[in-house]
Amino acid sequence: MTRITFRRLDGLLLLDKPGGMSSNAALQIARRLFRAEKGGHTGSLDPLATGLLPLCFGEATKIAGLLLGSAKAYDAEVVLGQTTDTDDADGVVLRERPVPPISAEALDAALAPLRGRIRQRAPIYSALKQGGEPLYVKARRGDAIEAPEREVEVHAIDVLAQRPTRLTLRVTCGSGTYIRSLARDLGETLGCGAHIAGLR
């Protein structure tokens, strides 16, 4: 295998990250392709998620923090009636419950407490660190985990489509918001459980 000679490279790459790949894996592939000495990404997208991931190289890494703190928008496919251990479709189904008929008004009432400045508990399968170790490492090992709760900002949640057991939501939020947690909490409010099936 030929050894890559890295070089100084400054700039931003707007990558449409495919599903099934972590943000760091996407960064490392791009770094090798461009032979960039220094690089960073501007926030962790779940492997399940697709969409815009700005990658910073060289001098551009100095503005990564600014981009990291910016507002973000997601289109989320939410499956009602199933709770998983990861709060998304990659996880093991822990519980199945019937989905009651949900009116548009009832759905909006359930979404209301999830808008604005809210306290949110992170998924146990997340990159958040506890004792210097990511939570997902502890979860995979089978450790008992009390995921931290923190304050996040959810600017808007709009319902793009509503079907009996599926919702399409557009979420605009601040940095650090977990869309998986929003889906999980919405499912509990509706009394049927929920998880994310797709996220862009």
Mean pLDDT of residues grouped by 10 in the chain (200 residues)?
Answer: 88 94 93 94 87 94 85 96 93 95 97 97 68 62 71 97 98 93 97 97
Note the pLDDT of residue 166.
98
Q: Return the pLDDT at 135.
A: 58
The string of DSSP codes covering 4-73 is P--B---EEEEEEEPTT--HHHHHHHHHHHHTBSSEEESSPPPTT--EEEEEEEGGGGGGHHHHHTS-EE
Could you give the CA distance from residue 45 to residue 184 in angstroms, rounded to a whole number? 18
Rounded distance between C-alpha atoms, residue 31 and residue 182, angstroms: 33
Distance of CA 46 to the CA centre of its chain: 5
Q: What is the pLDDT of residue 122?
A: 80
Grouping H, G, I as helix, E, B as strand and the rest as coil, residue 189 is helix
Residues in the chain: 200
Buried b (16+ CB within 10 A) or exposed e, 84-99: bebbbbbbeeeeeeeb
Q: What is the pLDDT of residue 124?
A: 64
pLDDT at 64: 85
Q: Which residues are catalytic?
A: 46
pLDDT score for 12: 95
| pLDDT at site 149 | 84
Ordered domains of the chain (ranges, CATH) = 11-68 (no CATH), 72-199 (3.30.2350.10)
Note the pTM of the prediction, 2 decimals: 0.86
CB-side neighbour CA atoms (13 Å) of 36 = 22
